[in-house]
Chains A and B, each alone.
Chain A
């Protein structure tokens, strides 16, 4: 009903500038990709490209919300691992698939709740908590499944993982991502809930005095993050038709890299869903284009790292140069800069 005005209430240094930059970079990467290889701008390749980044894309949505609220969740990949393991164990025990998926999502929500409970009730820093649960949840995945792999998932379900929407080249999981991305974007940018995340991230004490229920909101964010990781686990398991305890190990760093590259401030209070999605695709496009051009994988790792650093360093250096030029022009003009 009463949506908060977006213009005056926006946090300082609106992320819009960065959104435009990163979308321009995506277009540039698409152009470069088509120059590097003829196979790049084909439906089949783009379809393959987006299928490969869908788990990172999914989890980066909830990670965006958490980092905007000035918290972090390092346990997402381990949550994915333990949920994938549970799905495999349940299926191997002949639990009907529908129920197995529901239980898996339930485990994800529970894992997220546990993180959120430790952060909000005990007041522990989320970085410390989720380093702990990163180890714990991955350990539970091994406890569930050991070094076995469950692979005999029914074709109907695995097809949902790696299949295409009939008549198109759009991977089915991408459709789910688009729906969830729209929901996240609307929730973050056009609802009081979304505005409250910016407020909490920008100044938690002020947010509390303004009557926001900080603890409840954060708890909800961690539950959503766990739930999203569980959903990504279902997608991952079906896409590779394999449930293993080490599924997606290390994915948390890719997710955080994408979110930060997307212009979300690690200190909270700033960022947008559009920028993050563009960043996820930027990394995916570069990865894919370089692979097609037979550029070795290690270069890609370096490019990802450099992009991440430059995304913050670039604007900082530009601002400093601008400030320096301002100062110099103040010094040269005799009337400027009265002390």
Chain B
């Protein structure tokens, strides 16, 4: 475990080799993905129909969006279990804004989602960075608190598609050049954070904090502020995902998004984001989410027995996690041996 996190630290001298390694890792995921798509399409050509690809993209993009924020947090060796509750709460609250003010402009809903999410994320961040509460404990606690708030606010009610202005619902149904606008927005966020984490000083700080907190502190990084920012961003992104969830499904009750946190963490881990911190990219995490989504719909397209699908999905998830970690460790060891020579 330690070998994994230390070797992955982006030391300038070996950065070149390491980036190539991680490229290779993402490349292997893409290969698995392509093979899976090819086999499924060969058996059932309808898998590649425009409609089925559209559905797949829409389903994956909400998970993929939340994974972006989770990646920021996981990189720092923390975890955010509360994302599902943040998503549920913001989905309902932004929906009830439309109910209360039917003429409200659509962008205001997005702003509200981001804002509410950021506030909820700040609660997590303050608890972890300044309260000294381990992230797993803090966000498990807020998972309950935020979901409880959600139930209290919803109070047995429901938002339905008829409450939403057409311009808002169009966000999931409308498209630019055949790609749904919702997917484009998620892609834009992913590219933005991908570039930020790769090329900006404060982006690199996430890796530094996760690789070695003490070293990061000694290097002059304000660790507490970085952790707080990470959680705020994770919350804001989950809040945005809540608004998109509302646009996509139209119907939202108090249970919306329950259990999503484990899907999100699974996608990140499959995509090569180490839960031991310091390793991973937004692109990898996105591919992880895509891979899990494709496995899910491929099983349907391949007409796997309905009740076996979840078991097969679980087995593949486990396989992906194991293979990925074992390969990464082997690669890291090889790098170490080479540098010792």
Chain A residues within 8 Å of B, Cβ to Cβ: 74, 118, 122-125, 127-129, 131-140, 142-143, 146-147, 245, 250, 253, 256-257, 260, 266-267, 296-302, 304-306, 308-309, 312-313, 316-317, 320
Q: Roughly how many angstroms separate A253 CA and B136 CA in the complex, as a whole number?
A: 11
When the two chains form the complex, which single residue of B140, B149, B310, B318 contacts A132, counting CB atoms closer than 8 Å?
B318
A313 lies within 8 A of B131 (CB): yes
Chain B contacts of A250 at CB under 8 A? 258-259
Q: How many residues of B contact A (CB 8 A)?
A: 48
Q: Roughly how many angstroms separate A312 CA and B144 CA in the complex, as a whole number?
A: 16
Q: Roughly how many angstroms separate A257 CA and B141 CA in the complex, as a whole number?
A: 8
Q: Roughly how many angstroms separate A138 CA and B143 CA in the complex, as a whole number?
A: 22
A309 lies within 8 A of B138 (CB): yes
When the two chains form the complex, which single residue of A129, A267, A300, A304 contacts B321, counting CB atoms closer than 8 Å?
A129
Chain B contacts of A253 at CB under 8 A? 140, 143-144
B151 lies within 8 A of A301 (CB): yes
Chain B contacts of A309 at CB under 8 A? 127, 133, 137-138, 141-142, 145
Q: Roughly how many angstroms separate A296 CA and B148 CA in the complex, as a whole number?
A: 10
Q: How far is the CB of A244 from chain B (nearest CB, A)?
A: 13
Chain A contacts of B140 at CB under 8 A? 253, 256-257, 260, 305, 308
Q: Roughly how many angstroms separate A143 CA and B306 CA in the complex, as a whole number?
A: 8
Q: Roughly how many angstroms separate A296 CA and B1 CA in the complex, as a whole number?
A: 45
B311 lies within 8 A of A298 (CB): no
User: Could you list 17 examples of A-B contacts with CB < 8 Å?
Assistant: A122-B326, A128-B321, A128-B325, A131-B265, A132-B317, A132-B321, A136-B311, A136-B317, A139-B310, A143-B310, A245-B307, A266-B136, A298-B150, A302-B144, A305-B146, A305-B148, A309-B142
B144 lies within 8 A of A316 (CB): no
A137 lies within 8 A of B131 (CB): no
- Please give me the 9 A-B residue pairs with the lowest Cβ-Cβ distance, nearest first: A305-B144, A139-B311, A136-B314, A301-B148, A132-B318, A139-B310, A135-B314, A298-B151, A302-B148
When the two chains form the complex, which single residue of B138, B151, B322 contacts A118, counting CB atoms closer than 8 Å?
B322
Q: Roughly how many angstroms separate A253 CA and B314 CA in the complex, as a whole number?
A: 19
Chain B contacts of A260 at CB under 8 A? 137, 140
Most buried by A among B147, B266, B321: B321
Given known A-B contacts A305-B143, A308-B137, A139 and B309 have beta carbons under 8 A apart: yes
B100 contacts partner chain A, Cβ-Cβ < 8 Å: no
B145 lies within 8 A of A138 (CB): no
When the two chains form the complex, which single residue of A296, A298, A308 contacts B141, counting CB atoms closer than 8 Å?
A308
B279 contacts partner chain A, Cβ-Cβ < 8 Å: no
Chain A contacts of B266 at CB under 8 A? 131-132, 135
When the two chains form the complex, which single residue of B151, B265, B318, B326 contacts A133, counting CB atoms closer than 8 Å?
B318
Chain A contacts of B269 at CB under 8 A? 128, 131
B321 lies within 8 A of A124 (CB): yes
Classify the interface of chain A: helix, strand, loop or mixed. Answer: helix
Most buried by B among A132, A133, A142, A316: A132
B157 contacts partner chain A, Cβ-Cβ < 8 Å: no
Q: How far is the CB of B215 from chain A (nearest CB, A)?
A: 19
B9 contacts partner chain A, Cβ-Cβ < 8 Å: no
Q: How far is the CB of B323 from chain A (nearest CB, A)?
A: 10
B262 contacts partner chain A, Cβ-Cβ < 8 Å: yes
Q: Roughly how many angstroms separate A142 CA and B314 CA in the complex, as a whole number?
A: 12
Chain B contacts of A300 at CB under 8 A? 148
Q: How far is the CB of B314 from chain A (nearest CB, A)?
A: 3
Chain B contacts of A267 at CB under 8 A? 134
B42 contacts partner chain A, Cβ-Cβ < 8 Å: no
B317 lies within 8 A of A142 (CB): no
Given known A-B contacts A129-B321, A266-B134, A309-B142, A301 and B307 have beta carbons under 8 A apart: no
Q: How far is the CB of A257 from chain B (nearest CB, A)?
A: 6
A301 lies within 8 A of B137 (CB): no
Chain B contacts of A316 at CB under 8 A? 131-133
Other A-B contacts than A147-B307, A302-B149, A313-B127, 16 sampled, CB-CB below 8 A, are: A74-B262, A131-B266, A132-B322, A135-B310, A136-B315, A139-B311, A143-B310, A146-B306, A256-B140, A260-B137, A266-B134, A299-B152, A301-B144, A308-B141, A309-B138, A312-B138
Chain B contacts of A308 at CB under 8 A? 137, 140-141, 144
A257 lies within 8 A of B311 (CB): no
Q: Roughly how many angstroms separate A320 CA and B152 CA in the complex, as a whole number?
A: 34
Q: How far is the CB of A35 from chain B (nearest CB, A)?
A: 23
Q: Roughly how many angstroms separate A306 CA and B258 CA in the complex, as a whole number?
A: 19
B312 contacts partner chain A, Cβ-Cβ < 8 Å: yes
Q: Roughly how many angstroms separate A158 CA and B110 CA in the complex, as a whole number?
A: 52
Chain B contacts of A266 at CB under 8 A? 134, 136-137
A257 lies within 8 A of B144 (CB): yes
Chain A contacts of B136 at CB under 8 A? 266
CB closest residue in chain A, given B123: A309
B313 contacts partner chain A, Cβ-Cβ < 8 Å: yes
A142 lies within 8 A of B311 (CB): yes
Given known A-B contacts A125-B276, A257-B140, A317-B131, A297 and B151 have beta carbons under 8 A apart: yes
Instruction: Give residues 297-330 of B contacting A (CB, 8 Å).
Output: 305-315, 317-318, 321-322, 325-326, 329
B275 contacts partner chain A, Cβ-Cβ < 8 Å: yes
